[in-house]
Amino acid sequence: MNPATLREIQMKVEALEKEIALLRSALEAIPEPFFILDPKGFFLRSNSEGIALLDYPWEQLQRMNLIDVISLEDLSLMREGLGRMEEEKPLRLTLHLVTRLGERILVESIGIAKGNFIFLTLRDLRERVEVEQRWEKTKRELTERIHERDQYARELQALKDLYKERVKEIERMREEALLLSYTDDLTGIYNHRFFIQQLTLEVERQKRYSQPLSLLMIDIDHFKYYNDTNGHLAGDQVLKAIAILIQHGVRQTDIVARYGGEEFAAILINARKEMAFEIAERIRRSVSETCFPNEKAQPGGDLTVSIGVATFSPPLLTLTDLIREADNALYRAKKKGRNRVEG
């Protein structure tokens, strides 16, 4: 062999070595696992990322086929993909690889056939799967938190509603208790305590604004005789009935109370003496015209009331003066024969 021929061979070897080094550099420059396969799927070249992914020594891997590292359930899918690549159709599949130690790795396979070679890139989807799993877990936890929050909100609203109901119930009970404290147990109208409180207020209001104010003191005639003759139960029924008649005889703005025993009182707000006499006479007549059980046995053959009328004006200056004046008028009505109005 002459020196010229030796030199040419040496130059060809150097050029081939450079080409191989360039190919290796190009393969290593690819950041993802990359393989070059023959048309049957056998490994011809791989970068270090590919070797690391499959965890096989290159000496062993170059004797293997791509089918050898595909999971059993994805084999038919990969065979179909290799068949399409033989028709120069691109490959894009998501499947599982099995490493040398048996670890299953989900990858996206992107391949294309050029000439007598198949170029295959594998994208490791483990990180994406982990992210998706973490996201799914986060979504589940978030859904649970939302459910817990909604449940808490419902329970809180239920407690609020219950609290409101209890507050209303307490207010209702307080109002009922207050009403009971101001109500006569037998007749259901206001009692003596409430009568004094309201009359005190109305007297103060009359002094301040000079509005007319009158008072009726009403007593059932010969009530003791009726009670002794007919019994206390019958007497109680009469008290209830007369309380109703008095309420019907006054105006809505007036206040009717049981003063004590068989005696009633009516505060006539914004009523002058003439109107007070009209109201008193209406009550007297209503009671007289009402038929009560066994009233024929009463003295005079009728169950009646006597009424005293007083109007707040000089010389009356106090609540006591007003009550005393109405009592004196009631006494005069009794003295003059009962069943009458006096003022």
Chain segment 288-325, per-residue pLDDT in tens: 999 999 999 999 899 999 999 999 988 888 899 999 99
pLDDT value of residue 140: 85
At 265, which helix (H) or strand (E)?
strand 263-269
pLDDT at residue number 287: 96
Q: Please indicate, yes or no, whether residues 332 and 212 belong to a single structural domain of this protein.
A: yes
Same domain, yes or no: 64 and 96: yes
Domain CATH code at residue 36 = 3.30.450.20
Q: Are residues 141 and 82 in the same domain?
A: no
With a threshold of 0.85, does the pTM exceed it?
Answer: no
| Single-letter amino acid code for the residue at 262 | E
Kindly state whether residues 144 and 202 are assigned to the same domain. Answer: no
289 and 204 part of one domain: yes
- CA nearest to 219, candidates 258, 254, 193, 186: 258
Is residue 9 in a domain? no
263 lies in the same domain as 145: no
pLDDT at 152: 82
Q: In what order do the strands lie in the sheet with 91-98?
A: 43-46, 34-37, 117-124, 104-114, 91-98
Q: Please state, for a pLDDT cut of 90, what percent of the chain lies above it.
A: 54
Contacts for 299 with CB less than 8 Å, ≥ 6 apart? 221, 222, 225
Reported as a single tens digit per residue, the pLDDT across 51-80 is 999 999 999 999 999 999 999 999 888 888
- Measuring CA to CA, which residue among 288, 323, 327, 289 is closest to residue 305? 288
Is 110 in the same domain as 35?
yes
Q: Which residues contact 216 (CB under 8 A, 6 or more apart)?
A: 265, 266, 268, 276, 279, 280, 283, 307, 308, 309, 326
Which segments in the chain show pLDDT lower than 50?
none
Q: Are residues 39 and 158 in the same domain?
A: no
Residue 220 inside a domain? The answer is: yes
Residue 225, both tokens:
């005789």
How far is the C-alpha of 117 from the C-alpha of 112, rounded, in Å? 9
Task: Please tell me the distance from the alpha carbon of residue 52 to that of residue 97, in angstroms, as a whole number.
Answer: 13
Instruction: Verify that 68 and 47 share a domain, yes or no.
Output: yes
253 token code pair: 């703005």
pLDDT attached to residue 286: 96
Domain span at residue 229?
192-342
285 vs 302: CA distance, rounded Å: 12
- Residue 113 sits in the same domain as residue 208: no
Q: Which of 262, 263, 325, 342 is catalytic?
A: 262
Query: Are 118 and 106 in a shared domain?
Result: yes
Q: Report the domain count for the chain.
A: 3
Residue 262 annotated to the active site: yes
